[in-house]
């Protein structure tokens, strides 16, 4: 232990100052980080952007990514006008997917028939 009382007081003050400064840093850092996180979510999950991304994926027949993007839109911005439009797009996508599945099954059936003929 420190025997000199004046030195001990100064050490206690410095330690207290360091601890108080550290706590203030943590509190301020958490507040700023939370604000930035919210702003990032607003930008990243903007309804118009999500809907446009889903439409682009749909046009390129990338139904998997379009559905994932629409699911994110429905989760993050459920009450938006874009979500209503996204539900219509989702229905169109389901119909297109069923049509592709039907074509695929017919093609597989024809291939199997060809194999059977070749045996």
Per-residue pLDDT, 87: 92
Per-residue pLDDT, 1: 56
Rounded CA-CA distance 61/79 in Å is 26
Q: What band does 67 get if pLDDT is binned at 50, 70 and 90?
A: very high
Residue by residue, DSSP assigns 95-109 as HHHHHHHHHHHHHHH
Per-residue pLDDT, 110: 87
pLDDT in tens, 41-55: 666 678 888 899 999
Q: Work out the average pLDDT over 4-9.
A: 82
Total-model pTM? 0.58
Rg (CA), the chain: 30
Q: Higher model confidence: residue 8 or residue 41?
A: 8
């Amino acid at each position: 232990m420190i025997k000199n009382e004046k030195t001990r007081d100064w050490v206690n003050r410095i330690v207290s100052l360091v601890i108080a400064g550290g706590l203030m840093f943590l509190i301020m850092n958490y507040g700023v980080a939370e604000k930035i996180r919210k702003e990032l979510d607003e930008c990243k999950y903007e309804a118009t952007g999500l809907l446009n991304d889903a439409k682009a994926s749909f046009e390129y027949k990338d139904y998997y990514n379009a559905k994932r993007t629409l699911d994110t839109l429905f989760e993050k911005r459920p009450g938006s006008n874009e979500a209503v439009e996204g539900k219509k797009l989702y229905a169109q996508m389901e119909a297109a997917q069923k049509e592709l599945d039907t074509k695929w099954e017919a093609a597989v059936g024809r291939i199997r028939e060809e194999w059977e003929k070749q045996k």
